[in-house]
Chain A
């Protein structure tokens, strides 16, 4: 049980991050990849990449704002799995879709804004993935952090890549949801916002605790009890 408490989140991240790939492989055998499987593979790998990269952005605020330290232990895994799906996404595009026709791929990359955005995000993510090991962390020292802050550029580019390719944002709000989440997660890194939200979060935590544990509320406001005596279980602690 204690092992699960210590490693449950990591386990969930590994399973959750590999699940989309498992489903893709399964669906391939079950003829479940639509009549246009290459398109479907592109969409699925792209979405998995985006979800994981946005989640990797959530780890730091989860710690700094909500005091959830465990999140920091899965940040690298989320980022790397996200990069894995980016690579698969690109492989589907270059190999299955364009048959490695470099001239055609090059033409498409420069011609379509959304591909430029996506390709830039990919280029940015390469050095981050390469330097994700402890060895590189030690070697780069302080510069490691500045380098990895490039993810603040890569994720918005990836969201833009998605937003630019849907037909109409008003009817397909998904990119807007990813965009809002990204903006929020980046804003939570600005020190003023971070402090204010951490303050709010701790207040909210207190409020919810007292709301869900009425005995504590009584203890907190002893005058509310007309007898003037604190209730019994308030004495014995949080029953």
Chain B
């Protein structure tokens, strides 16, 4: 983690105290009925951030108050929120239940094999990865297909650095990712589970090589919490959250488009690409708007989750209604 200067990392007391600060603010703002009720809902409703200074640097940054913000000026969610509100179906379908069930997950030692159509297949220890590749902070928005979103300060390294080391062969067109299969650690992987475990995901090679595609090893300057997919997960910020596979044990370069778990379960709802796209409705959740965790009401969902400028080129000429 050499690359991050300590000044760039929000001290823990700052983001912990933010919660208290907002709560006090909510009480002070007793004018609206709901806020006057106090409590959590009051906090949520009062939690909408003050409009950010219009001149934000082009990239994510930490502001003068020590609050991390994305490039639009929206504040990052707290470490507590990010690590205790998770979709991690290997444990449970209950978002709040994940952190508890994941508390004893054994994330180390951990090995990741990188193989398939590569000239230099390798197996890495998680420590190798942390040492070998500079760890940098990236403040990304995560948009869940269920219609909620967060801003998350990930720590990690771009996947293209790893792929460069294993040297994909010319015939490699896709990257296939596989999560841990371990019913002893994952209660929901019990023998009669109806999910086609292990969790699998895939990217087209050019998507995988994009600089935004991050191999994540940490969060808020700390090692990745178990509930967020320790010790190694993916973050593909312009795609729905489920593409960002957790607890990766295998990365394979393939010539064929790999199967993915959600696409296998419900192909009419979850396509291979799963780019955030407000124009393509989902049968259950609004994709036109989203609820930012910590805010009341909804905000419009941005094409490619706000990363269009950087990734739209990957899909030039493609029909994104058909290739959803």
Contact = CB atoms under 8 A, between A and B. Distances in A.
Interface stretch (B49-57, B212-220, B287-295, B309-317): B287-295
Interface string A96-129: 1111010010011001111000000000000000
Contacts of A35: 77, 81, 84-85, 95, 293-294
A171 B195 contact: yes
Given A28-B37, A28-B40, A168-B194, A112 B284 contact: yes
Contacts of B180: none
A33 B293 CA distance: 12
A175 to B, nearest CB: 13
Interface string A30-43: 11111111110100
B17 to A, nearest CB: 15
A99 B95 contact: no
A111 B81 contact: no
Interface residues of B, number: 34
B291 A36 contact: yes
A218 B44 CA distance: 68
A38 B266 CA distance: 27
B284 A37 contact: no
B96 A34 contact: yes
Nearest to B43: A31
A29 B195 contact: no
A165 B40 contact: no
A36 B284 CA distance: 17
Contacts, number: 82
A170 interface: yes
Nearest to A98: B298
A97 B146 CA distance: 14
B44 A38 contact: yes
A50 to B, nearest CB: 17
A165 B281 CA distance: 14
Tell me if B's interface is mostly helix, strand, loop or mixed: loop
Contacts of A170: 194
B109 interface: no
Contact of B265 (A104, A112, A168): A168
Contacts of B38: 29
Contact of B291 (A38, A165, A167): A38
A205 interface: no
B286 interface: yes
B127 interface: no
A57 B296 CA distance: 36
B281 A97 contact: no
19 contacts: A27-B40, A28-B37, A28-B41, A31-B43, A35-B95, A35-B294, A36-B148, A36-B291, A37-B41, A97-B298, A99-B298, A101-B298, A104-B289, A112-B284, A112-B286, A113-B283, A114-B283, A114-B284, A171-B89
Which 10 A-B pairs have CB atoms at the shortest separation, nearest pair first? A28-B39, A35-B85, A99-B297, A29-B39, A170-B194, A35-B81, A31-B40, A33-B40, A165-B284, A28-B40
